[in-house]
Amino acid sequence: RKQVVAIVGRPNVGKSTLFNVLAGEKISIVKDTPGVTRDRIYADATWLDKSFTLIDTGGIEPESNDVILSQMRDQAQIAIDTADVIIFITDVKQGLVDSDSKVCDMLRKSKKPIVLAVNKVDNFQKDILDMYEFYNLGIGDPHPISAASRLGIGDLLDVVCEYF
Ligand code: GDP
Ligand code: MG
């Protein structure tokens, strides 16, 4: 069966933007409102000689009891359970926040390979120093990307495809 890659993280870190870049089409909805992607969204993607299925998720708000947010969390958990590799995405502009650590705990429990992407590194010289705090998650190297500017995407996919 085709390998499955799930894009997971809290709302508004840029999951759908990355999904659209990787899927090569505007499939997922990108909006400034956190959590607009409420359902799982699938696309076929290829990198070099590898092809895989991508899943975008609505995002995980770990503490919320809100009905929609808890449904989004359930959908994300299904995506995590389905995935062979997880891209865990965070936001360099907001830095490492408590929800990131809680999402990270959920991901660790899955025992799936996790590739840590730090998004919104739009200006490598300026933003790269802020990336290092993500080592504190304890899941290995953070990979800097700018989904919006399509930077660091190839290097990220190289790391993802190493797990296939
Ligand atoms: P999601 O909720 O995680 O799916 O996040 P979205 O993909 O919907 O993006 C949330 C917001 O972040 C939108 O306003 C995007 O335009 C913005 N965004 C996404 N990627 C980047 C990036 O690389 N740099 C910057 N500066 N903004 C980004
Ligand atoms: Mg989204």
Domain count, the chain: 1
| Residue span of the structural domain in which 83 resides | 3-161
> Distance from the CA of 86 to the center of ligand 2, in angstroms?
15
Name the residue of 8, 10, 12 to mutate for ligand 1: max ligand atoms within 8 A of Cβ. 12
Instruction: Give ∠ CA 23-144-57 in degrees, rounded to 5.
Output: 40
pLDDT reading at 22 higher than 70: yes
Q: pLDDT digit string (tens) for 72-106?
A: 899 899 999 999 999 999 999 999 999 999 999 99
Burial class from Cβ neighbours inside 10 Å (0-12, 13-18, 19+) for residue 130 reads middle
State the distance between the two ends of the chain, measured CA to CA, in whole angstroms.
Answer: 11
- Specify whether the CB–CB gap between 40 and 72 falls below 8 A: no
pLDDT reading at 160 higher than 60: yes
pLDDT reading at 67 higher than 70: yes
- Identify the CATH number of the domain in which residue 128 sits: 3.40.50.300
122 pocket-lining for ligand 1 (C-beta < 6 Å): yes
Comparison of pLDDT for 58 and 137, the residue scoring more? 137
pTM recorded for the entire structure: 0.93
ipTM of the complex: 0.99
> Distance from the CA of 58 to the center of ligand 2, in angstroms?
5
20 pocket-lining for ligand 1 (C-beta < 6 Å): no
Looking at residue 68, what is its pLDDT?
A: 87
32 pocket-lining for ligand 1 (C-beta < 6 Å): yes
One-letter amino acid identity for 149? S
